[in-house]
Structure 1
Amino acid sequence: MSEIRYIRGDATAPQGRGVKLIAHVCNDLGGWGKGFVVAISRRWAEPEAAYRRWHRERAGNDFGLGAVQYVQVGRDLWVANMVGQRGIRTGSKGVPVRYEAIGAALGQVAEKAAELGASVHIPRIGCGLAGGKWSRVEPLIAGRLAATGIDVTVYDHDG
């Protein structure tokens, strides 16, 4: 069992040694342009391009709530695009975050991290534009990642 480590900093510049996997939440509409994805796109073009292609070709792949796409952006650095929100706006059907989808995606991220021997680095996923509550997301991270021995760092961005 690993602990979840909380630090101030930028999740797109993960700290520590070894292979790192940056995990974040995407919507199920193919939209990319607000929130943490903007920071990702400032550093690398590949995650956005791969996500948009994944969505565009969704009839022939696994794109949907709970799915994860892995994009290698450096020798020892990967980005996990996790589909964990339905739509993009809070409305009559509540907030966009889907905790069960995030939980399913985190289970897959744990498997990939174990395969790569990677630590996982995340912002407070699902709690920005997706409208989620950290009190609901943190136990998913603890149960799916930290409980399986995966080192997890949560980044609180200054700014």
Structure 2
Amino acid sequence: MGSEIRYLRGDATSPQAKGPKVIAHVCNDLGGWGKGFVLALSRRWPEPEAAYRRWHRERARNDFGLGAVQLVQVAPDTWVANMVGQRGIRTSRSAGVPVRYEAINTALGRLADLVLPLGASVHLPRIGCGLAGGRWERVEPLVTARLTDQGIPVTVYDHD
């Protein structure tokens, strides 16, 4: 049994922890980067957006797709995990929500495999619950099962 998720007020792009850190967030499967949490990431580091756009552009030759994870190093002890957990983007209220819980679950499992060898903690906003339209009460158990139950420390940030 792992530890509990830690909740903090603050900015997930400046993780509050010692040692190696991975900032994880959910991307869509269309190659779109331009709204929500990704803007805060891009204000700090150009690499995650550039890597995501290249990953999408070259998707015929790589694993890009729902459930995939791309780890991008942005500092000696800090990485950003681009997790594809959103099908398309929300264009209208009637269209339903883009979040895909199965894809987030798969991505979190892959994230754990990448994070454990680094000995890193994971830092995230309430993934899938902003523009993707998901509900935290469905995402939180996935984070617990895939990360904290594996012994990975997780901090969730609620922006003021």
TM-score bracket, normalised by the shorter chain, equals over 0.9
Structure 2: how far apart are the matches of 1:10 and 1:26?
18
Deviations 1:75-118 (A, max 9, x none): 00000000000001155552000000000000011111101000
Deviation at 1:17, TM superposition (A): 0.3
Identity %: 77
Structure 1 residues without counterparts, runs of 5 or longer: none
The answer to whether 1:30 aligns with 2:31 is yes
Deviation at 1:43, TM superposition (A): 0.1
Deviations 1:22-74 (A, max 9, x none): 00000000000000000000000000000000000000000000000000000
Give the equivalent residue in structure 2 for 1:133.
135
2:149 to 147, 150, 154: 147
Structure 2: how far apart are the matches of 1:31 and 1:41?
13
The one-letter code sitting in structure 1 at the alignment partner of 2:82 is: N
Structure 2: how far apart are the matches of 1:132 and 1:141?
14
The one-letter code sitting in structure 2 at the alignment partner of 1:32 is: W
Give the equivalent residue in structure 1 for 2:7.
6
Structure 1: how far apart are the matches of 2:105 and 2:96?
19
Of residues 149-158 and 86-95 in structure 1, the stretch that sits farther from structure 2 once superposed is 86-95
Q: What is the number of residues matched between the two proteins?
A: 158
Give the equivalent residue in structure 1 for 2:86.
85
Runs of 4+ in 1 over 2 A off after TM superposition: 90-93
State the Cα RMSD in Å: 0.9
- What SS class does the counterpart of residue 105 from structure 1 fall into? helix
- What SS class does the counterpart of residue 42 from structure 2 fall into? helix
TM-score by length of 2: 0.97
- What SS class does the counterpart of residue 34 from structure 1 fall into? coil
Taking the TM superposition and a 5 Å limit, the aligned residue runs for 1:113-124 are 113-124=115-126
